[in-house]
Amino acid sequence: MSAMRTLVAALRDPASVATLDRDAWTALVSVARAEALLATLAHRVEGQPVPPEVEPTLAAARRDAAQAQVAALWEAEMARRALAPLGIEPILLKGTAYAAAGLPNAAGRQIGDLDILVPRDRLDSVEAALFEAGWEWVKDDPYDQSYYRRWMHELPPLIHKTRDRMIDVHHTILPLTARVRPDAAAMINDAHALPLPQSFVNLYEPEDYPEVPADPSVVPPVAGCRVLGRFDIVHHCVAHLMADGELDGGLRNLWDFHCLVREMERRTNGKYVKDLLGDTGRHGLHQPFARTARLAHHLFGPLMYVREPLTLADRLFLRRLLARDDWGKPTRPLTRLAFTIRGHWMRMPPLMLARHLWTKWRKR
Amino acid sequence: MSHNHALRIGPVSFRIRSDWAAPIDTLRRLYAGYPRPAGAFADATVRLEANRFWRRFIRPSVHIGGDWTIPDALPLPLAQGLLAAEMGMNLQVALGWRRHLLIHASAVERDGRAVMMIGASGSGKSTLAALLGEGDWRLLGDEFALLGLDDGMLAPFPRLVSLKNAAIAEVERRVPADRMGPLLKGTPKGDIRHLVPRADAVARMEEGARPALMLFPEFGATAGVRGVGAAEAFVRLTESSTNYVALGEPGFAAMMNLVRSVPAVAIGYGSSEEGMAAVEALWAELAP
């Protein structure tokens, strides 16, 4: 079995690692690292029989992720302070949101940049406030600036002068030019203030979901920030995974999806999934959701209301998601290229794409 | 066809795969005295690969891949394959290792106590450590000092010593030829030749040492010794650490403990003999 398959199996069923020999562990650690899933794996297999030579590596990954989460939440607090005078509570997205909301996939989840969502019509004042608080452009290129502003869903990346941390300021969900356009204003409207209301968390009881070790008592106090609503947090995950192209880190995002839906499904005894399905149409995400659900169902285990078999195209996605050899090296260059092209294709109409690539090529 | 080798240096186990035989053959020869990874588990992976298939054969150039890489790093010619392997292994430690506080320093040991030499490239820290390691000292490492987060002990990391430019001749005339790697001319860092640490350094690489002295050598500076306060040492050490920030509080605690309990001095010296004499003199003053 390839190491990527071993990784999927270990996430799906942690007890499966009991049969691995040391070579298989070496390959597993290497591909998990390459997919930014090592600490997730380390949490997942905690308590399983792990060889003594491997355990320190997993323990270090867990510690490292915990510390990275502390730093990420601090960064969210810094953004909150910067935007507070404007009366804007930043909506946390992706890894920072999962950590702030105490969701089960946060255990070991790698968090890189801080991603926040703010209303598009407040973008200028948000930008000014962030500059005031010490953030600056990573690269101040006029074409990039106008490109991001006119067409993208986020500002060009900003980095903090002294803390050296990046922030991505999103003003909508997908690029303004994308084929699919989720309703960002509605999502912003429905976002929850932190700490989360009981209605969001009260169904969480670790005893009855021993598969995912996450401790609700460590839900961090990130008051003054927001997270997306219980449907939208999944919609954003789907949009990010499916409609945003290259599928780099795709396996990690798919694992996020699986954990989020499983968790909500459990909290609401399945009613959630039905309601969620009804809600996807509102954001034009019906197809991407269905595909994400089929892939997660296939790789990580059954989800309610997912019965359709994999399509031929789904199998291409699988090929791409698992395109890595046992030494962590990316493989299947043609499949990868196809997804790169698909990513650009979905992001903008052909003529615009041609113009963009031409400009970028000339600036090389 | 790919070639690979696995080896352990102190607490770190590596596996290295290459598209070419030559770099692996050289590694096997130079690391012959090193153990295989404990239990055959390697926690760091290095890949030496051709960016394009035909680059294996036509003007072959070695791209350094692995668990951790530097984007846009320039490939090296195949003749410098050993350097690529060494850089790849260093990179995995610098960017990925979290089980110790990493300090960019060389270190030598005597009677269970260690001298750490901290300085930028060109300060002479590798050369001094290599020369001391040929005398009455045991070489702990020439590149990274691995400081234990709980016990404050230095874990040996006696990889091949990377000698540059003038330091090559200095060491060559003191050690047998079979302990030297091939001369790599015209690398991005000038001429490089690797030295295999003495057998005792490898045989005793499980045996830690307690830091007793921190030295900030400055080759070419006016001869003399200057005391370095804890605050200055702290700042210079944080600048020399690749994982201090990532480790968070345990890293801070280990660093504070080090600068508070271990004396630090800066030395200026103009020749290796002068440098080694200065280390011995400081050591004699320090002796309990």
Q: Is A64 on the interface with B (CB under 8 A)?
A: yes
Of B235 and A276, the one with more pLDDT = B235
> Chain B residues with CB inside 8 Å of A26's CB?
15, 40-43, 45
Interface touch B247/A67, C-beta < 8 Å: yes
Q: Output the furthest CA–CA distance in chain A (Å, rounded).
A: 58
- Closest chain A residue to B69, measured at CA: A34
- Residues A16, A10: contact at Cβ < 8 Å? yes
Q: Sign (positive/negative) of CA torsion A169, A172, A175, A177?
A: negative
Start-to-end C-alpha separation, chain B? 57
With vertex at residue B23, the alpha carbon angle to CA B197 and CA B179, rounded to the nearest 5 degrees, is 25
DSSP code of residue B170: H
Which residues in chain A touch residue B13, judged by CB atoms under 8 angstroms apart?
53
Domain count, chain A: 1
Cβ pair A60:B37 closer than 8 A: no
- Please report where in the chains the tokens 């490292």 appear, as a residue: A64
* Contact yes or no for A53 and B41 at CB 8 A: yes
- The pLDDT value recorded for residue A117 is 96
Q: Is there a contact between B98 and A329 if contact means CB atoms under 8 Å apart?
A: no
Q: Which residues of A touch B42 (CB under 8 A)?
A: 26
Whole-number pLDDT of residue B56: 85
**Per-residue pLDDT tens digits for B7-60:** 999 999 999 999 999 999 999 999 999 999 877 899 999 999 998 888 888 889
How many CB pairs below 8 A link A and B?
52
Please tell me the distance from the alpha carbon of residue B132 to that of residue B158, in angstroms, as a whole number: 14
- Nearest CB among A22, A70, A328 relative to B45 is that of A328
Cβ–Cβ gap A33/B37 under 8 Å: no
Any idea what the CATH number is for the domain that residue A129 is in? Answer: 3.30.460.40
Distance CA B278, CA A278 (A): 77
Amino acid identity of residue B90, one-letter, is: N
Full domain range(s) for residue A267 = 3-362
Domain boundaries, chain B: 3-96, 100-286
> Which residue does chain B place closest to A24, by CA atoms?
B41
pLDDT tens series, chain A, 364 aa: 899 999 999 999 999 999 999 999 999 999 999 999 999 999 999 999 999 999 999 999 999 999 999 999 999 999 999 999 999 999 999 999 999 988 889 999 999 899 999 999 999 999 999 999 999 999 888 888 888 887 788 899 999 999 999 999 999 998 877 778 889 999 999 898 887 755 554 344 444 333 333 344 444 557 889 999 888 999 999 998 987 678 889 999 999 999 999 888 877 767 778 888 888 888 889 889 999 999 999 999 988 877 789 999 999 999 999 999 999 999 998 998 888 888 877 777 777 777 777 777 776 5
According to the model, what pLDDT value does residue A205 have? 41
Cβ proximity of B28 and B16 under 8 Å = no
Distance CA B156, CA A169 (A): 45
Task: Report how far Cα B218 is from the mean position of its chain's Cα atoms.
Answer: 18
pLDDT at A79: 95
pLDDT computed for residue A210 by the predictor: 32
Give the pLDDT score at A92.
96
Sheet harboring B61-66: ordered strands across? B3-9, B12-18, B44-49, B61-66, B76-77
CA atoms within 13 A on the CB side of A99: 27
Q: Kindly list the residues from chain B whose CB atom is less than 8 angstroms away from the CB atom of residue A63.
A: 98
Which residue of B42, B49, B99 is in closest CB contact with A60? B99
Task: Classify A64 as helix, strand or coil.
Answer: helix
pLDDT given at position A305:
79
Tell the CATH topology of B100-286. Rossmann fold (3.40.50)
Q: A165 to chain B: nearest residue by CA?
A: B245
Residue B118 exposed, middle or buried by CB count within 10 Å (0-12, 13-18, 19+): buried
